[in-house]
Structure 1
């Protein structure tokens, strides 16, 4: 397969999807960021006596990538016409990579020396032994060896170094998520597959957890049950929930309101589903909201949360849509119709829910896309922090579709919301304490995770060594579909009722 310009970058900017939306082509800003990163890497690799590829795999390589992206975003911001029609700044665009200007809405905050000094880069981007990172949305596919057809065939398996089962199976998930990234605890999250066999059934999840525990560490994997209340008779679906809960140790329920005949969290079907979850003792409801189908709108979240104050609602993707440009929240009437994350904020606001209530906003796929759009990232994180509170934003990556989650983790550590955006829109600062809550402490509180589990994961040095080994084997690359046709193929396999 032909190599792409970003193949050696620690963050992949190639079009990529989790299969639920058509991937976007890189923007001109991203194209320029790739060019500047490669130029800077060539120079700094020579100065440090490394090959360019080795340099890009280092912490300084990530720092160079994020610094270039921040600088290109800053240049693009300055070149936009102001209200008078003149450029916002007379500063000309330059190919020099510098830190972003202070007027940035969202940026990656790294000292200039981080792009050549790995110790400085690691001090910002690296994890620490004992740090807690809880990823509440991860996936794998348990496919028979040699699988080439059916679900998963739309994924670019050649890009991750092996066959479908090698790229998406339990071994790959363990290496990429629990072994080679800073993830301490991972939730295996159900996918909208109702065919038999389901490659991520609760039976598959249970085997994956047992395999993780066999490596010598328990309590690092949490499981979800998949509820499908409109596929067949409702009573049968509720009985299936009861059977699942009786046989398997599940921590939450996962549902898709656009799965099968559409339903809402606050209609009779949703009320019955939530009631059965309550009766079974699972108080966490994880629901997909955003990324395409109209029936996945988060408009029903606020009413359902108010009606069920003893239940906790984890909103996957936070209502994000890849083709909606995120800006400041326009208020409830306009927000409900605006699309994207504003719909979730409007639903919460209209229901009268205060920050810290029983709605949690999750970032899987959302953050991966927003890394390339720093100002929009600042708006999304700022709006969510105001709407649900700093204790109710949850870390999720939608891995394994985007390969290793490590790049997403490191980019989040370096990200900040500018003082200008804080003053203008009232967004809170994204402090180290807030980041620690989002990355792991919030989910630990929600799921009852013992924080001492962090002592059981591999050390930072061992994780780095495994990442280097995976890089050498070209295992950690693109996993999700990279074309609109591939995304449609995956979506059709997952959602046959839309056909």
Structure 2
């Protein structure tokens, strides 16, 4: 739109296109393009009405409410046009009263909240701690590289992560989770995670950053991988294990993959040994990437149900809930039982795993992908809440790849599932209590933690001082020999993508 300058902060609800690097960003649909156009017009109009600059309004809660109201209106118009019925309504939408677009109190009522927000899928890329590393071109694929820093890599740093999560969103606690990158020299290694946790403790004076331990049982000798798990658990306060059953096949297309239940004999039989090791170490929580498969069949959640049935003493959390980029997501039917999230539902059904048992569904990148398409969003949330359980759907955002998660939080707070879909498919009503469970209470129960609800507020100067003065050693963390450097390059895939 003419007149929108480079120094504008942009719409407060971000529509992309964007991705976490594990899938191709989806182009904006005609409905989304119209939403963006109309939201820009409405934000300009409301800013003038309130005597505010465009920038001030876009950064306000009324700006976010305006944008969501426009999204809701455009979605309704599209449904009526496609159906040919003036009374047709979408299966989901945003409950934003018109006054919320100009009255802050009304906007806070619609998209604000005091609930505990616990993000259990956070990522950053700290290059200063790893001058020679895997994923060295990873940062070039994301729009955050234009964040204003002289060195674009700093846009993914611990500093920016802390600011985006704790200052620019209502997130109170979070979990740092590994990326599908070989751990040697990873910009999100266990060392980087521990440093982030150390900085957060210094700034916030509490324990609000938790850590996952990466486990790659199929990469190299099994015994060495199990020993590496033991070493991680000894050296770091690991609260769960992060796994990728499709790694490295997804990048190298070499068939090197595995299943949690070891059901395919031609693959490394490491799933059972890995799960038993997690239990032995006293950390019986397994987080597995399922969905966003990148053309690898090994990211299917087909193995989740059998593994959960065999190990009732282990909690299995399904990152992305089995969602595949581009969808579309609709109701669970026999004809679509092996598509997208329905694959997870089918795996649980076949294994006799009911709602609220030992399988959890996580929303990172999935909610980002569907909140812009309210009909799909209603089916995604409705299916997960019905089949995985209202106590077992947990909040994650995959940020900082999508910038601050505040817009995703605001969207969930104001989202509703239509009465029609509730009645037809048995989906629950999204009450404030249920949303509070999704945003944080379910995750707190899963980890056995007491929610931290106080804000962690700090300045950039305080953050820099904490990094300088907290106890710690100065050290180089990259390879120290030619052979080690060559090893890193040999294990760095050609594209540099995770």
Deviation, structure 1 residue 3: 6.0
Deviation, structure 1 residue 38: 1.4
The 1-side partners of 2:385 and 2:364 are apart by 16
Unaligned runs of 5+ in 2: 249-255, 263-268, 461-491
Distance 1:490 1:24, change over 3 A: farther
Other-structure match for 1:360: 360
Other-structure match for 1:254: 242
The 1-side partners of 2:349 and 2:98 are apart by 41
The 1-side partners of 2:275 and 2:495 are apart by 27
Unaligned runs of 5+ in 1: 82-86, 92-100, 467-488
1:320 matched to 2:323? The reply is yes
Other-structure match for 2:123: 139
Q: What is the SS of the residue equivalent to 1:153?
A: helix
Q: Give me the TM-score of the superposition, normalised by structure 1.
A: 0.85
1:150 matched to 2:137? The reply is yes
Other-structure match for 2:273: 272
Other-structure match for 1:206: 194
Q: What is the SS of the residue equivalent to 2:316?
A: strand
Deviation, structure 1 residue 110: 1.1
Conserved 8 A contact 2:240-2:285? yes
Deviation, structure 1 residue 150: 3.3
The 2-side partners of 1:280 and 1:491 are apart by 35
Other-structure match for 1:37: 39
1:222 matched to 2:214? The reply is no
The 2-side partners of 1:427 and 1:336 are apart by 17
Deviation, structure 1 residue 180: 2.4
Aligned residue among 14, 38, 45 for 2:16: 14
The 2-side partners of 1:52 and 1:155 are apart by 26
Q: What is the SS of the residue equivalent to 2:270?
A: helix
The 2-side partners of 1:32 and 1:415 are apart by 20
Deviation, structure 1 residue 493: 2.3
Distance 1:195 1:137, change over 3 A: closer
Conserved 8 A contact 2:137-2:495? no
Conserved 8 A contact 1:137-1:188? yes
The equivalences for 1:438-453 within 5 A come to 438-451=438-451, 453=452
Superimposed CA distance per residue, residues 386-413 of structure 1 (whole angstroms, 9 cap, x where no aligned partner): 1111100000000010000111101110
Other-structure match for 2:408: 408
Distance 1:336 1:237, change over 3 A: farther
1:231 matched to 2:211? The reply is no
Conserved 8 A contact 2:139-2:153? no
Distance 1:335 1:348, change over 3 A: farther
1:193 matched to 2:181? The reply is yes
Other-structure match for 1:123: 109
Deviation, structure 1 residue 160: 2.1
The 1-side partners of 2:197 and 2:450 are apart by 17
The equivalences for 1:38-117 within 5 A come to 38-81=40-83, 87-89=84-86, 103-117=89-103
Deviation, structure 1 residue 122: 1.0
Residues matched between the structures, number: 445
Deviation, structure 1 residue 350: 1.2
Distance 1:243 1:229, change over 3 A: same
Conserved 8 A contact 2:139-2:145? no
Note the aligned Cα RMSD (angstroms).
Answer: 2.2
Other-structure match for 2:453: 454
Distance 1:149 1:203, change over 3 A: closer
Other-structure match for 1:23: 25
Other-structure match for 2:292: 291
216-225 or 204-213, larger mean C-alpha shift: 216-225
Conserved 8 A contact 2:144-2:403? no
The 2-side partners of 1:4 and 1:34 are apart by 16
Conserved 8 A contact 1:335-1:346? no
Superimposed CA distance per residue, residues 27-76 of structure 1 (whole angstroms, 9 cap, x where no aligned partner): 11011111111121122111110122221211111111001001111111
The 2-side partners of 1:80 and 1:39 are apart by 25
309-318 or 291-300, larger mean C-alpha shift: 291-300
Distance 1:491 1:375, change over 3 A: farther
Deviation, structure 1 residue 79: 0.9
The 1-side partners of 2:81 and 2:111 are apart by 30
Other-structure match for 2:171: 183
Q: What is the SS of the residue equivalent to 1:187?
A: strand
